[in-house]
A = this chain, B = another copy of it.
Amino acid sequence: MQLGLVGLGRMGFNMRERLRAAGHDVVGYDRNPDVSDVASVAELVQKLTGPRIVWIMVPHGDPTRQTVEELAGLLSAGDLVIEGGNSKFTDDQANAALLAENGIKYVDVGVSGGVWGAKNGYGLMAGGDAEDIERAMPIFDALRPEGPREEGFAHAGPVGAGHYAKMVHNGIEYGLMQAYAEGFELLSASDVVTNVPETIKAWSRGTVVRSWLLDLLVRALDEDPELTELRGYVNDSGEGRWTVEESINNAVPTPVITASLFARFASRQEDSPAMKAVAALRNQFGGHAVQKNGSES
């Protein structure tokens, strides 16, 4: 089927490839003319035959909002906007409301898989009305991995549910990564296990902890067995923070996901103001003479 695709960055570019390989007619727009099929969003809309489908794949926040607003002025009643970026679920609800004023439908889709999705397919979680999701199903079927549809695609609920599901997915992802990372550090710190990369590789089959993330860790250790070339500096994107916020809003204890987020915060600090305060306190009750090696008392 025919669709417009706004945003041809790392994710969007690959998705256009995968969609075209599945036989879909994709008109792509990007600010970067080297990859764009058209000169503007307006031209993209013009090239589509109604009722249109336009997939947005730009950074969340202002860029997505501006694209929605632009499309609100260009599309017609009955057209469908699919927001496939990493929007917050509350933004989806606002976007849908704005577009609904002009009779334009809205579906939000959480897309997982990273750069590997181009080859493996993307895990998809959609939010919106059933009829809108049904209408876009050929697109979802082209993007999702091979195999039973329900193992790579879900209609998670009403508008916002797709990105809510993706948000929680990413929160879980933080926790999984941190769990492997702690295990890696402990194995490395102790001198009992002398073949750390080999040991982790041996978890690839048969064990309880086998997973795709483990496979990636094995790949990383194949390239750099002690990870000496990397700094332990880790960014976080919105989803981890939103997951913790939502856990607080719903009074759900999420110690693992939150600890994973805090570990990232700490990884980016040159020095910890909190630990300065602890050091100051120990110095105060331990005496000036023990400033650097003060013992508890």
4 more A-B residue pairs beyond the given contacts A160-B192, A190-B246, A211-B214, with a C-beta to C-beta distance below 8 A: A113-B208, A121-B205, A169-B207, A253-B272
- CB of A187 within 8 Å of the partner chain: yes
Instruction: Please determine whether B156 and A193 come into contact, CB atoms closer than 8 angstroms.
Output: yes
Interface positions, chain A 265-284, Cβ under 8 Å from B, are: 265-268, 271-284
Instruction: Please determine whether B123 and A297 come into contact, CB atoms closer than 8 angstroms.
Output: no
CB 8 Å contact bits of A184-221 with B (1 = contact, 0 = none): 11111110111100110111111111111110110111
- CB of A24 within 8 Å of the partner chain: no
Instruction: Please determine whether B192 and A153 come into contact, CB atoms closer than 8 angstroms.
Output: no
Instruction: Please determine whether A205 and B123 come into contact, CB atoms closer than 8 angstroms.
Output: yes
CA distance A214 to B253 in the complex (A): 20
CB 8 Å contact bits of A167-185 with B (1 = contact, 0 = none): 0111111111111111111
Instruction: Please determine whether A10 and B186 come into contact, CB atoms closer than 8 angstroms.
Output: no
Q: Which residues of A are at the interface with B, using a C-beta cutoff of 8 A?
A: 10-11, 86, 89, 111-117, 120-125, 127, 144-147, 150-158, 160-161, 164-165, 168-190, 192-195, 198-199, 201-214, 216-217, 219-221, 224, 227, 230-237, 239-241, 243-248, 250-268, 271-287, 289-290, 293-297
CA distance A112 to B136 in the complex (A): 43
Contacts of A211 in B (CB 8 A): 176, 209-214
Please name the residue on chain B nearest to A224 by beta carbon: B280
Please name the residue on chain B nearest to A154 by beta carbon: B202
User: A230 contacts which of B115, B117, B283, B293 (Cβ < 8 Å)?
Assistant: B283
Instruction: Please determine whether A185 and B115 come into contact, CB atoms closer than 8 angstroms.
Output: no
Contacts of A146 in B (CB 8 A): 205
Beyond A169-B209, A192-B161, A208-B114, whether A276 also contacts B177 by CB under 8 A is no
Instruction: Please determine whether A263 and B271 come into contact, CB atoms closer than 8 angstroms.
Output: no
Instruction: Please determine whether B185 and A252 come into contact, CB atoms closer than 8 angstroms.
Output: yes
Beyond A198-B156, A210-B212, A243-B186, whether A278 also contacts B259 by CB under 8 A is no
